[in-house]
Chain A
Amino acid sequence: MAEPAPRRGSAALAGETPRAGAAMGVRFVGDPLPGLSPDAPATELPTTAVIRASFAELDERWAHAAAPRTAFEIPYSTGAPFLRVESDDAAGYLIWADGYGLHLVSSDGAELRSALPGGPAWVERRLLASQVLPLVAALHGREPLHAAGVMVAGRLIALTAPSGTGKSSTACHLVAQGGGFFADDVVALALDARRVLAHPGPRMVNVPESELAGLSSAERARLGRSLGVGTGRYLEPAAPPPARPLDGILCLERRPLATPGIAPLDDVAATLLASAALPHFDRPRRLLGQLEMVGALERTVPLARLRVGAAEDASRVAHRVRAWAEALA
């Protein structure tokens, strides 16, 4: 694959130095990656060695894959590929998105070779956050849940929802209102004895500019520094806490005629399985692990459905989430 043309638009952040560290329950060592939290050496985490590479080197390595197949692809409207994940039993996983970099993950997740695209900080982090780090986490046995995570009233709450429902906007308002950032797009889960532990995501959130417009300067400051503007404004919040028990999951549902309210989640398995990140990663071990995780969540974590009115703004939804979290036993 050819090196991408330099991106135009947002100014690059001068002097950003990527840092090695941890995200999604994995310790990344070796060459630094952007957006990770400082590693807590005392924490026992599986390790992935990071090696920065060139696009040409990764293409050359993948050319030797015995039987590569496309696991997942998102095309542009023209049909040309925008994002592609390829897999090979021995060679691992090749993850590419146009203008966002190229990454080769070993089949056991122990090694990550990354060709970052350069340019604005959010561009370098976006593919890592959405595809690469969740896959590495899954290969290390974490179960990636497509959810935002926020510390609210001292409790860790995961918000799941179909894309476009307002999950990220709601999470951002919770942070702006005084909550703590935990994850923007993927919460990595693990079973610890009989409870569900959640591992934080990389430090980046994407917020529509319209959501930021109504915030006070203090609220805006809680969301962290700007990493640039893409489809929304990308921000780097403060480093999240390390892994902690998951205290609740709220499934946001927005329907035109829905009466706002909160109800127990009655179709737990169907809803949570539909919220799994990386549906293309369907190794038997992962699928069995998903079933086990759903069972543990049903047994140990409060689960509810939050019905949101069609025109209800994210700030108000955030207040309702806070009220639910505060009422948890």
Chain B
Amino acid sequence: MSLDVRSLRVRIPRHVVFRTFASETVVLNLETGRYHGLNRTAGRIIELLGELGSAGVVADRVAEETGQPLGRIETDIANLCADLSERGLIEVDG
């Protein structure tokens, strides 16, 4: 799945919850009963996606926080969203 981050809007479904720990974020799909682990960066991204909804805005924020090139961040977010969507952990439009 190839996603255009600038037009992408993301929702966290009600049956998905996540908790952030010191070195990881755990995402729980209550429908499947399965846990998914994310590293710190991915955990921060999903947290921002839940707050802001717009993948483009999240990319800008993460680029600002990390100092990493925006293009690379956009690619990482697109790949992460594709993966999370495939696992049923987010819903995407755009």
Question: Which of B21, B23, B24, B28 has the most C-beta atoms of chain A within 10 angstroms of its own C-beta?
Answer: B21
B16 → A minimal CB distance (Å) = 11
A-side interface residues, number (CB < 8 Å)? 14
Q: Which residue of B lies closest to A276 (CB)?
A: B35
A298 in contact (CB, < 8 A) = yes
Q: Shortest Cβ distance from B13 into chain A, in angstroms?
A: 13
Interface string of B28-42 (1 = CB under 8 A from A): 101001010100000
B24 touches A287 (CB 8 A): no
The reply to whether A298 and B30 contact each other, CB–CB distance below 8 Å, is no
In the assembly, what is the distance between CA of A270 and CA of B37, in Å?
7
- In the complex the two chains form, what is the Cα distance from A284 to B30 in whole Å? 6
Q: A265-291: which have CB < 8 Å to B?
A: 266-270, 273, 282, 284, 287-288, 291
With contacts A270-B37, A287-B33, A288-B17 taken as known, whether A298 is within 8 angstroms of B22 at the C-beta atoms is yes
Which among A266, A282, A284, A291 is the interface contact of B26 at CB below 8 angstroms? A291
Contact partners of A273 in chain B: CB under 8 A: 26, 35
Q: Does A46 contact B (CB under 8 A)?
A: no
Residues of A within 8 A of B23 (CB): 266-268
Whether B24 contacts A288 by the Cβ 8 Å rule is no
Q: Which residues of B contact A268 (CB under 8 A)?
A: 21-24
Contacts of B87 in A (CB 8 A): none
A282 touches B33 (CB 8 A): yes
Q: Collect the chain B residues with CB atoms within 8 Å of residue A295's CB.
A: 19, 21
CA gap between A288 and B24 in the complex, in Å? 17
Q: A266-B23, A267-B23, A267-B24 are in contact. Are A291 and B17 (CB under 8 A)?
A: yes
**With A and B bound together, what is the CA distance between A282 and B26 in angstroms?**
16
B12 CB → nearest A CB, Å: 15
| Centre residue among B17, B24, B35, B37 by max chain A CB count within 10 A | B35
Q: List the interface of chain A (C-beta within 8 A of B).
A: 266-270, 273, 282, 284, 287-288, 291, 294-295, 298
**Can you list 5 residue pairs at the A/B interface with Cβ under 8 Å?**
A269-B19, A270-B26, A284-B30, A288-B17, A291-B19
Of all A-B residue pairs in the complex, the 3 with the closest CB atoms, nearest first, are: A282-B33, A284-B30, A269-B21
Given contacts A266-B23, A269-B26, 16 further A-B contacts (CB under 8 A): A266-B22, A267-B23, A268-B21, A268-B23, A269-B21, A269-B24, A270-B37, A282-B33, A287-B28, A287-B30, A287-B35, A288-B28, A288-B30, A291-B17, A291-B19, A291-B26
